[in-house]
Structure 1
Amino acid sequence: MKVLACDPATPEAISILEQSWAFLDARFPPEERFRLDLENLRASNVTFFLCTEAGMAVGCAAFAQQGEDWG
């Protein structure tokens, strides 16, 4: 398993993001979902990570720096 920082606009990242968003949409009402859209995931204060196993995207995460803190 590999976890690497990458551009969330890659085809692999978009695929896993769309799967994640569909999962959340099916299970939670809008007021209980938190997610960044692709534009916000590409912001300069955000680091996006993609987890792959055997060359296939299996997960993702993002950290946003806000001042001296990360969220």
Structure 2
Amino acid sequence: MMTVTVAQEAVRQPAVRALLEQSWALSDALYPAESNHHLDESELDVPQVSFFVARRNGQALGCGALMRVDEIYGEIKSLFVDPSARGLGLARAVLTAIEAEALGQGLALLRLETGIRQPEAIGLYEATGFRRIPPFGSYRDDPLSVFMEKALR
């Protein structure tokens, strides 16, 4: 029997570091440095970030973060699932937890940036109600980036 949990957890733990390193390696393999916008542990370990870990039978296999930007919106960061666990619904489960947290914080919008070479991620976001938008915040127009938004209320 498979037990899957998603919970808010500390960023600074070895299992999470391993997931983040896999995520960074994937981004680095797919995109040039100027098109990568990943956050390191110190940037994720701040009060305005809620960090979630998906575990299957206790093993950390996925993660994602909600970074509260202002009173209106939060940004999804570091959503990643270990390749060995893809197809189990972990990314959707982490995304659901992030959305619930955003609603609990009273946010009206979720935004994100992802890359054009990640069609599975884009498909998940579109299937869960995100729509494409122009660059937001400090992002600049980048032909390798896709910017998306979802209204929460």
Partners of 1:59 and 1:34 in 2: CA distance: 18
Once superposed, what is the RMSD of the aligned Cα atoms? 1.0
Please tell me the residue identity of whatever aligns with 1:29.
P
1:15 has 2:18 as partner: yes
- Give the structure 1 partner of residue 52 of structure 2: 49
Q: Choose from 27, 32, 38 the match for 1:29.
A: 32
Q: Choose from 66, 69, 73 the match for 1:66.
A: 69
List runs of 5+ in structure 1 lacking aligned partners.
none
Please tell me the residue identity of whatever aligns with 2:43.
N
- TM-score, reference length from structure 1: 0.89
Please tell me the residue identity of whatever aligns with 2:6.
V
- Give the structure 2 partner of residue 6 of structure 1: 9
If asked which structure has higher relative contact order (CA below 8 Å, sep 6+), I would say 1
Per-residue Cα deviation, 1:15-38 (whole angstroms, up to 9, x for no partner):
111111111111111122221111
**SS of equivalent to 2:37:** coil
**SS of equivalent to 1:15:** helix
Please tell me the residue identity of whatever aligns with 1:24.
S
Larger Rg computed on CA atoms: 2
